[in-house]
Chains A and B, each alone.
Chain A
């Protein structure tokens, strides 16, 4: 896990610094506002950074962080530590809210369903946590840079641009099937490049 972002503020209860995200989420699920405050202090920088990157709008990004974090608070009882790390869960919700926000600014696009869940809720035990200690943002960025230009473009338009596969196809003037395979092969290449994942090799 990368460095916790943002300093602890004085109102954070003493002692929670040593507790894991998962323990704090569990306490939050039982109504402990101190725990949710500490989770905010720990992750707000990453949440706001991601929201800013996606929305490019400080006002909207603050909105996104607020909505995402209230979502974390409301649904803390639904978090399953066996399926994702707390940080991945929180960041997935943030990403989804940010995408939702920019799609609302583009009224021609069908909105995602309001209750669309974070994808990681469906995953197996989180693989990211065990390897992330070995990786830093620079390593990830250089892995991204080693993808083919069209793969990187498709992934970035989706993840940071909030475009659907159909919009990516339109924007890049590529057939939908090509977009699908660029995203898939790009992510698999990234997985192998970073040493993530359960499967040894990307299917060709």
Chain B
């Protein structure tokens, strides 16, 4: 990280922004480096931090859901702590530790706070399969009309229009539930990763010890090294899975935020099969990319995929393919709808997607207003 030296006056000038977390990373780092090395007390930071205290005390407390406490204490039980490595502090009866004991002259150490604990969802097997949808009799060209007919037949069209917002909120709540579940799995994935890393450290210590013994055979060394390599491969795979899931959860978070913005153009999506509970939203914010989120989508065969379509006056343009995760959850972001799009549809297509739809729509939804030309 490229820090640059700052003088005392500049650092004082930035004190307020620093305590508010409103500096960019490199600026914050430069301030912190200055404070670590500077002989001056920089009292202004104490003042500013005290005011920050006033800011958080101004917020109305809200009790967190009880489940969070359970989850957190489970995570605490498997989370290693940063060792107290400064002085040899013998473990003593914690009940009788004086408050003064906690004051340790370690300016440098105090500058480092926890690396974030990953809280991402465990990834989802996307290739699990297998309900193949047969071709439906509906023809594609009539899709825009079909969308209206289907919804009207379900008796919800007017209601859907009138209750666009509450529907959207219902969907959001439901999607948030799915994400919460996924995140709970992530705590386990994280714990597995932590435990694996602990075992690697142990095995590496064994290896070091073995190498120091003269009589250690090459086979013993190779066996230990092999174990470490295997575990490293596992670690990499966990990390990859977590990163993928992290992206997915982040995308859902963005989509939920966009869905609740009053200026967004939001379509409620519903299955064309009356008995099917698949539902979702297409969200096109006033500016920036759009999203399609679905929940309860039936799985498709391994050689198939869902594909989303923009429909402008009945003419389909691909919006991209969507893979299905847990709870039939599927999401695609970064959408740039073509101008005039008034309906969103999903079809089941061969894996990889197609240029023009070959299947009939399995999910449709009409936007409250057609997408305007974007510049």
B173 to chain A, nearest CB (A): 9
Is A73 touching B79 in the complex (CB atoms < 8 A)?
yes
Q: In the complex, A117→B82 CA distance in Å?
A: 14
A128 touching B21 in the complex, CB below 8 Å, given contacts A48-B64, A49-B61, A116-B28: no
Residues of A within 8 A of B (CB-CB), count: 118
Interface string of B344-374 (1 = CB under 8 A from A): 0000000000000000000000000000000
Is B213 located at the chain interface by the 8 A CB criterion?
no
Neighbouring A residues of B15 by C-beta, 8 Å: 184
Which residue of B41, B81, B256 contacts A31 across the interface (Cβ within 8 Å)? B81
Is B53 located at the chain interface by the 8 A CB criterion?
yes
Q: Which of B330-344 contact A (CB under 8 A)?
A: none
Is B158 located at the chain interface by the 8 A CB criterion?
no
Is B21 touching A113 in the complex (CB atoms < 8 A)?
no
Is B46 located at the chain interface by the 8 A CB criterion?
yes
Is A155 touching B20 in the complex (CB atoms < 8 A)?
yes
Is B59 touching A36 in the complex (CB atoms < 8 A)?
no
Name the residue on B nearest A64 (C-beta): B119
Is A128 touching B99 in the complex (CB atoms < 8 A)?
no
A76 touching B81 in the complex, CB below 8 Å, given contacts A60-B253, A88-B53: yes
Q: In the complex, A56→B257 CA distance in Å?
A: 9
Q: Which of B11-47 contact A (CB under 8 A)?
A: 13-25, 28-29, 32, 35, 41-47
A20 touching B176 in the complex, CB below 8 Å, given contacts A74-B114, A114-B115, A191-B47: no
Is A158 touching B21 in the complex (CB atoms < 8 A)?
yes
Is A116 touching B25 in the complex (CB atoms < 8 A)?
yes
Which residue of B48, B82, B183 contacts A187 across the interface (Cβ within 8 Å)? B48
Q: In the complex, A126→B46 CA distance in Å?
A: 7
Q: In the complex, A40→B60 CA distance in Å?
A: 17
Which residue of B52, B53, B97, B116 contacts A23 across the interface (Cβ within 8 Å)? B97
Q: In the complex, A153→B23 CA distance in Å?
A: 16
A163 touching B22 in the complex, CB below 8 Å, given contacts A73-B79, A117-B32, A140-B54: yes
Is B47 touching A199 in the complex (CB atoms < 8 A)?
yes
Is B63 touching A48 in the complex (CB atoms < 8 A)?
yes
Q: Which of A94-144 contact B (CB under 8 A)?
A: 94-97, 99-100, 104-105, 110-128, 131-132, 135-137, 140-141, 143-144
A49 touching B103 in the complex, CB below 8 Å, given contacts A100-B116, A183-B16: no
B304 to chain A, nearest CB (A): 31
Is B113 located at the chain interface by the 8 A CB criterion?
yes
Is A178 located at the chain interface by the 8 A CB criterion?
no
Is B28 touching A113 in the complex (CB atoms < 8 A)?
yes
Neighbouring A residues of B229 by C-beta, 8 Å: none
Name the residue on B nearest A46 (C-beta): B61
Neighbouring B residues of A115 by C-beta, 8 Å: 112-115
Is B211 located at the chain interface by the 8 A CB criterion?
no
Is B50 touching A197 in the complex (CB atoms < 8 A)?
yes
- Interface residues, chain B, with chain A CB atoms under 8 Å away: 1, 13-25, 28-29, 32, 35, 41-66, 68-69, 71-73, 75-77, 79-84, 91, 94-95, 97, 99-104, 106, 109-117, 119, 176, 179-180, 183, 250, 253-254, 256-257
Q: A26-B94, A44-B68, A70-B75 are in contact. List 12 more A-B contacts (CB 8 A).
A: A2-B57, A57-B257, A59-B180, A70-B76, A74-B79, A119-B18, A119-B45, A124-B41, A137-B60, A144-B55, A159-B21, A180-B14
List 15 A-B residue pairs with CB atoms under 8 Å apart, sorted by A's residue number: A46-B61, A57-B253, A59-B179, A59-B256, A71-B116, A74-B79, A80-B102, A121-B110, A122-B110, A131-B50, A132-B53, A144-B58, A158-B20, A159-B20, A164-B22
Ranked nearest first, the 3 interchain pairs of A and B with the lowest CB-CB distance are A71-B114, A45-B61, A128-B53
